[in-house]
Structure 1
Amino acid sequence: MSGQLAEKAVPETAVERESTPEQLTTLLAEGKADPSELREVSRVMFARLAVLEEGTQEYQYVRNSLIELNMALVRFAAKRFSNRADQMEDVLQVGTIGLIKAVDRFDPDYGVEFITFALPTIVGEMKRFFRDTSWSVRVPRRLQELRIDMAKASDALAAQLDRTPTVAELAERLGITEEEVLEAQIAANAYTASSIDAEASAEEDEGTSWVHRLGYEDPALEGVENLTALKPLIARLPERERTILAMRFGADMTQAAIGAELGLSQMHISRLLARTLKMLRSQLLAGA
């Protein structure tokens, strides 16, 4: 009788109460299950997975159950990237891919806990996601990795020298050429992009945005080119035609006023202008 009471006094574990992966995962999330139970169940299931034939229905069930059981690892790893809240859904997705890879690659004979094996793989997938998607302009992987190494070397040298290190010092520290350092520095500018509507400098009272500093093609430049090209052509015109052009386009006189000044009819001035402009246009286009 006392033995029966003692047996009943021993509390059941979560594994004994809830045996399905979904239920155990829920209990872990609610804090009602000991993580050691998760490790024990995972250990048993990996041992089972090792003797099953890949591709069978039972193999897929055990594999999927392992993935579901260990999703807490993905959420745990994602916490270190909590500052990227806007990308958290993507982070969890790539972390799940890392978990799946870890499940497929894990061998119980490794002699380590699955958690120890899986976390680096999950975090590695998340870091690779940020490395591949955070750059505003796509640059070679070599330069992406060199940027990280150069940032670490720059911080270390700055602390050691109490000043910003030179290109030569960075090159010596990293064991690369100065040209490679400069190339990495240029590539680093592609890591982030700012809106052209953003203020160019917070210190400026006017808050001028970059869009107001961007160069643009001045339409008047074409007029300057045309005037330069027309100058020798106009110089070859008869004096009367040159005078009419100067009065019409230089003094902005009407055809009637020009005719009155030169003693010609407005119709005559109109014909002379039309003929002169047509000739100049054809010569200008021929020269282009």
Structure 2
Amino acid sequence: MRNVAKRPPFDAEALLREYEKTRNPVLRDQIVEAYLYIAAIIARRFSGRGVDYDDLYQVASLALFKALERYDPDRGVKFVSFVTPTMVGEVKNYFRDRSRLIRLPRRGGELLKDLEAAREELGFALRRQPTADELADRLGVSVEDVLEALEMRGAAAPVSLDTLPSEDDESAPLSAYLGVEEGGYGEFERSDELERAMEQLDQRQKEIIRLRFFENRGQREVAEKIGISQMTVSRAERKALEILRQLLSKGE
């Protein structure tokens, strides 16, 4: 079961308050796991620009972990509104940092080789992409070493963070299909509004949207998983997106 597809539990705010008091690592892991779907959305939003989705997912996941440690529920700001801009900022910083040419030292090359093997092994065992923390634990190195190795993976020319893919591109983010302005990105995911809108979809529509936009799967893969034709997936997706567009536009 993919953790990135999970939505926050109903008592998420209660868990956040309890964690703020106790710093219980079990609660921390539950909260991070519940909100990993945001990392998946952000990674999808910025993928296809010279950086792998998996790398962006790990950067966003680490930012989620760090943001949780700074979150104060007594300030009256919802957790999603607090962490999403932080995660987006970390991903943008990652792009800017790797836009410089980096010479890969020998140790970095060896670590990167081990990192790729560990990611494949953990991905198979966990049935999802491992986080930077999990990779660090497997390799016996720090999270910073893992992120540094990912940055060294290859030097890339500067990319524009404001260029959206065309709407007929399967890599386009959900916001592009819904016609919602990015506005700091956290505002679009407007988590409460989106969740309420999603509740108006039927079960198949929910499943298709979840697989397509929260698990980063193509229409053909979704069709095979559900056991229907790709044409049926395409039609159901278009109908679901139209419903979401109408509902979200009413809420503006």
Q: Please, what TM-score do these two structures have when normalized by structure 2? A: 0.38
Query: Is the helix fraction higher in 1 or 2?
Result: 1
| Higher normalized contact order (CA 8 Å, seq sep 6+, divided by chain length) | 2
- Compare CA radii of gyration and give the structure with the larger one: 1
What's the TM-score once normalised by structure 1's chain length? 0.33
